[in-house]
Amino acid sequence: MTRTEPLHCYACGHQYWYLGRDLHPGQCPQCASHCVSPAGEVTALVSVDVSAETVPREVTVLAIDDRCRHLRYRLRCAERTIELMTVEVDGQIVRPTADGTAPPIPGPIRNHVTQQTIPAQFTQRERGWSDESDSIGRGCGQSRP
């Protein structure tokens, strides 16, 4: 597996390259923390919108990487932006630093959030639908134009 960016330990700040044929072991060689960049691909398992109808919305996504490390991404979503609040790797919580540096949000997590949890009002606007008034008088099974 070839990486184009170095691995990062979010616990001690160490950056390093892993030389090997398989996935990196998911542990920092300097401090032994598991709070390092995901190994291989990240797969979103489930997401929970924990903020109900408020904007910005807060979404928690449970995921695993190819080493089966458990990842929990807490995200803040507003309109078209997704901001990382925290990521938890095997029980260790990583927060953005005071200067705003945060672990990147993997593409599969960003795509999952975009597809699963964008507020209906934004989706409707994109498709040219009006808000709630458009659904008045429509029964179940009647589709929108």
pLDDT for the residue numbered 44: 93
Q: Is residue 57 included in any domain, yes or no?
A: yes
Q: Is residue 143 included in any domain, yes or no?
A: no
Number of domains in the chain: 1
Reference 62, options 41, 46, 81, 85; nearest CA is: 46
Q: Is residue 56 included in any domain, yes or no?
A: yes
Q: Is residue 83 included in any domain, yes or no?
A: yes
**What residues are paired with 20 via a beta bridge?**
none
State the DSSP code for 124: H
In which domain, by residue range, is 125 found? 39-132
pTM exceeds cut of 0.75: no
Q: Is residue 144 included in any domain, yes or no?
A: no
> What residues in the chain have per-residue pLDDT under 70?
1-3, 51-52, 100, 117-145
Task: Give just the sign of the alpha carbon dihedral 96, 101, 106, 107.
Answer: positive
**Strand pairing of 42-49 and 57-65?**
antiparallel
pLDDT for the residue numbered 118: 55
